Homo-oligomer: A and B are copies of this chain.
């Protein structure tokens, strides 16, 4: 249920592009045409199109038109500039998923943890280790740190489902912004054990470190996601600005 006009137009155009209504490299109908189609103002239409641009679906060319450059992605891949939970990502790709909680504990941030996570010293933290399965294959080992005051009432049972559903649905928290850093790190014994990896085969893995902020500007989550290297795939679209 889109709450705004530009979003419903955006979704409809996106759907039409994905449905192959426009050939690859074909020009979309002009702004004026689309304005009549959707019976909206030029600004509203342009706002929808600009989201398609940042999604990498189309490319605008001044004086020429808007070109469809959408090409469907073949494999499982993680979000493109969006915050997606593991569950959302799996659903989008039509795969079965399961989350196993390996560890659930509470702790207080000391100097070392604070330096690593950015949480204030003395802050009370939920620390979780979670293993994510896709089609019954263990792919990701997550180390989650949640600020207790923001995620109050979190339990192991909730963590086996979707933590984000709990935070957004039950606690009514808005999740806004996330900074993610991708690196390659050596495999640890824990990784080896739970992700069923063989050091002879791969001795390192993809690590995504993320800092997530809520609507009040509080960094409430620090997460380190350790991915099986042979299944890791991260996609993004870059737009050259200046």
Q: Give chain A's interface residues, CB within 8 Å of chain B.
A: 7, 25, 54, 56, 59, 61, 67, 69, 71, 77, 79, 81-83, 118, 175-186, 202-206, 213, 215-217, 227, 229-230, 232-242
Are B69 and A240 closer than 8 Å at their CB atoms?
A: no
Q: Given the known inter-chain contacts A67-B217, A203-B203, please indicate yes or no for A176 contacting B240, CB distance below 8 A.
A: yes
Please report the C-alpha to C-alpha distance between residue A241 and residue B79 in the assembled complex, in whole angstroms: 12
Are B81 and A236 closer than 8 Å at their CB atoms?
A: yes
Are A182 and B233 closer than 8 Å at their CB atoms?
A: yes
Number of identical protomers = 2
Please report the C-alpha to C-alpha distance between residue A77 and residue B179 in the assembled complex, in whole angstroms: 13
Chain B residues lying within 8 Å of A82, measured Cβ to Cβ, are: 238-241
Are B241 and A229 closer than 8 Å at their CB atoms?
A: no
Please report the C-alpha to C-alpha distance between residue A240 and residue B180 in the assembled complex, in whole angstroms: 13
A23 to chain B, nearest CB (A): 12
Q: Can you give 6 contacting A-B residue pairs, CB < 8 Å? A: A69-B177, A79-B238, A83-B239, A175-B240, A184-B229, A202-B203
Which of chain B's residues has its CB closest to A200's CB? B203
Tell me which of B59, B179, B183, B184 contacts A204 (CB under 8 A): B184
Chain B residues lying within 8 Å of A175, measured Cβ to Cβ, are: 240
Q: Given the known inter-chain contacts A202-B203, A203-B204, A216-B61, please indicate yes or no for A177 contacting B237, CB distance below 8 A.
A: yes
A236 to chain B, nearest CB (A): 5
Q: Given the known inter-chain contacts A204-B204, A238-B82, please indicate yes or no for A232 contacting B183, CB distance below 8 A.
A: yes
Q: Given the known inter-chain contacts A82-B239, A203-B204, A237-B178, please indicate yes or no for A61 contacting B183, CB distance below 8 A.
A: no
Are A182 and B182 closer than 8 Å at their CB atoms?
A: yes
Are B184 and A215 closer than 8 Å at their CB atoms?
A: no
Chain B residues lying within 8 Å of A7, measured Cβ to Cβ, are: 242
Q: Given the known inter-chain contacts A61-B216, A202-B203, A240-B83, please indicate yes or no for A181 contacting B77, CB distance below 8 A.
A: yes
Known contacts A178-B237, A182-B206, then 4 further A-B pairs from the complex at CB < 8 Å, ordered by chain A residue: A69-B177, A71-B118, A179-B236, A184-B232
Tell me which of B69, B71, B215 contacts A61 (CB under 8 A): B215
